[in-house]
Amino acid sequence: MVNDDPLAALMAPLERLAGVGPALAPLLARAAGGARVLDLLLHVPDSVIDRRDRTPIRDARAGMVVTWEVEVVSRHKPATPRQPWRVVVGDGSGHAELVFFSPARLKLCEPGARLTVSGRLELYDGRLMMSHPEHVVPVGRGTVPALEPVWGLTAGLWPGQVRRALAAALRGLPDLPEWQDPALLRREHWPGFGAALRALHAPAGDADLGPQFRRRLAYDELLAHQLAMQWVRARIRAQPGRELSGDGRLRAVALERFGHTPTPAQLRALAEIDADLAAPRRMLRLLQGDVGSGKTLVALLAMLRAVEAGGQAALMAPTALLAQQHFALFSALSPVKVVLLAGAGRGAGQAAARTRALADIASGEARLIVGTHALFQRGVAYHDLALAVVDEQHRFGVDQRLLLGGKGRATDILVMSATPIPRSLLLARWGEMEVSSLRGKPAGRRPVRTSLHALSVLDEVADGVARALARGERVFWVCPLLEESERGDLAAAVARHQALAARFGALVGLAHGRQDAATRRGAVADFAAGRTRILVATTVIEVGIDVPEANVMVIEQAERFGLAQLHQLRGRVGRSGAQGFCLLLHADMMSVAATARLRLLRDTEDGFRIAEEDYRQRGGGDLLGTRQSGLPGWRLADPALHADLARIAAREAALIIARDPRLVGPRGPALRLLLRLFDRVAGMRALRAG
């Protein structure tokens, strides 16, 4: 039976390649991140070693990568097993040493043997040497690659095995139709897809070393991603929604109880959300904002608009603690009934409360519902869920968002991010959503004074904490690890708690992730009520802890945290209008990069600027894939490095989907192949429901 799928050879398992057996295939799959031939082809090299330099020994210098044809002069056994073997070689112009820490290749180095060797030169005790050459080949019995790609490897895998497997994969690479716009190819001087892969994996000369080959493939991946996003966005816009309009009466009551006027940024975001709610299509909008910018108030006012229109609204938070805090705030401000649904509960009283909440949700008596993952469980039936809000979007998978959205009829969805999202990542990761941004802080919030302190002045910091306690303030003290590390003397929360308790007694509480939930909640509650005045904690307090009376934040080993995380932690203080302080304690000796990062945090509270820098250093996440955080799920593209290509891809994808939403036009079949090549078809199916 003939397989007429043009991608059949690429989708085949690696074992189908000549020379790849059952032992080698798993190693290749581990290095390439997949077990298909395509995965290996997309495992492009990190760099290329140029081995074309034939500088004679007499003229060679340390640091050069050279390839020599030499004769072995002598071979010297080490005096002790820990010392290397030395092989003296000459090329007629001079002599050098080859150094081997393993005797495996010494049988090639008999005196008088003629060899081709290649490697990087070093100077040791006045002698020029090539330490453990990458290539040792008898003259006439093999060749050294002139341009050698460097691929990522895994334990037990050698570059030669990758090179041979890729040669077989490239021989079977099908001639695929071109999916890119010919005008773009001419303007950027880009080759075809197959030619780009061949140039990267098997460069033949200088013409194959330019950046255009990687950029061509990066753009392929970005376009596939943007096509999927734009297609999902078009499907969302086409889905029938509900026109949710209100008279503002519930909002007016909530704002009167709140006691402050929304900021211009809040009013702007609310107007964008209201326009979506009133439109006859489903909303899928991202509300992003800086720490303390007032996202929760905007969410509540949006939810009350849905209630004014006759529906219910639910907010899903990632933790029970955060859900309880939202519930407390909503209960204080909302003129309609709010219920909390945050898990099954173990006691009889909790079970009865859950039963009442479920009944109120089903009957419609509960208009606002706040909870955790429990909100989308099978036993939860809503009377009329019109708006679903997902807080801390990055902590939920796409499937969980869809489950909550599926609980109602044409439910609008608002997702919130507590961390400002870099511009380059917005386009690449959240392309299927409309975006509202909150910049600035509500009136009355003062900038937090941030300062850097070496750990050697820890006693002085403790004296400062004592002065803060004397003024009646409360203090967060954050440590990066729970227990002492065997690899270093990192501060541990338990040890720091003991040290501070020795000075301040029962005023010191402790909260960390290994405590049971009840103990941790109790520690936070004691701190919030003022029964304790210092809370030593790990990053469990990064989000969801709102103690306005706490105005001092001490972060130990600050250089070990990410910028965005430090910014989030700093946002826990300065919430009452009083002056907030953040003390970043760091090692006495820091790297230049770590020093620059902490100085940036000291000098700015602009979360958007901080997020850009954090993304540049650490990477973002993967939306159409399965990962929600960590390094980006890109094989070839880097949305920060290729920001210009991401913008072009977004514009082109929007035009393509507008003109040919089903991809059946002249470029359609080729673009469908592109989507399959970069595994975007499954992602489209996952996102299409919003």
| Average pLDDT for runs of 10 along the chain of length 690 | 82 96 96 96 96 97 96 94 93 96 90 97 93 94 93 93 97 96 96 97 95 96 90 76 91 94 93 94 86 88 97 90 89 96 66 90 96 86 93 57 68 82 62 78 79 93 94 92 45 84 94 82 91 90 76 93 85 84 92 88 85 67 36 72 88 93 93 93 52
Helix (H) or strand (E) holding 223: helix 212-238
- Residues 396, 290 share a domain: yes
The answer to whether residue 619 is domain-embedded is no
pLDDT of residue 400: 52
In the listed set 110, 125, 144, which residue is the last one of a domain according to the structure? 144
The answer on 106 and 248 residing in a single domain is no
Considering the domain architecture, whether residues 581 and 562 belong to the same structural domain is answered as: yes
CATH no. for residue 128?
2.40.50.140
- φ/ψ of 28, rounded to 5, equals -60, -40
The answer to whether 454 and 468 are in contact (CB under 8 A) is no
Q: Is 189 exposed, middle or buried (0-12, 13-18, 19+ CB in 10 A)?
A: exposed
Residues 668, 676: Cα–Cα separation, whole Å: 13
What pTM, to 2 d.p., does this model score?
A: 0.69
Domain that holds residue 168: 8-48+153-197
- pLDDT computed for residue 373 by the predictor: 84
> Which pLDDT score is estimated for 410?
82
Query: 466 and 318, same structural domain?
Result: no
The distance between the two most distant Cα atoms of the chain, rounded to a whole number of Å, is: 97
238 and 369 fall within a common domain: yes
Indicate the pairing of strand 127-131 with strand 95-100. Answer: parallel
Please identify, among 576, 604, 632, the residue that sits at the C-terminal boundary of a domain.
604
Residue 366, strand partner residues = none
Same domain, 456 and 501: yes
State the pLDDT at residue 393: 55
Dist. CA 471–CA 469, nearest whole Å: 5
Same domain, 355 and 235: yes
Residue 281 DSSP code: B
- 254 and 400 share one domain: yes
CB-facing half-sphere around the CA of 139: CA atoms within 13 A: 12
User: Alpha-carbon distance 441 to 289, whole Å?
Assistant: 9
Tally of structural domains, the chain: 4
pLDDT for 627 equals: 35
Q: Which CATH number is 403's domain given?
A: 3.40.50.300
Burial 119-134 (b: 16+ CB within 10 A, else e): bebeeeeeebbbeebb
Does residue 425 sit in helix, strand or coil?
Answer: helix
- Inter-residue contact 572 to 528 (CB < 8 Å): no
Residues 465 and 499 in one domain: yes
Burial class (CB in 10 A: 0-12, 13-18, 19+), 177: middle
Q: Are 439 and 465 part of one and the same domain?
A: no
pLDDT given for residue 628 in this prediction? 34
Is 235 in the same domain as 129? no
Using the 8-state DSSP alphabet, how is residue 531 labeled? S
Question: Is the same domain home to 114 and 176?
Answer: no
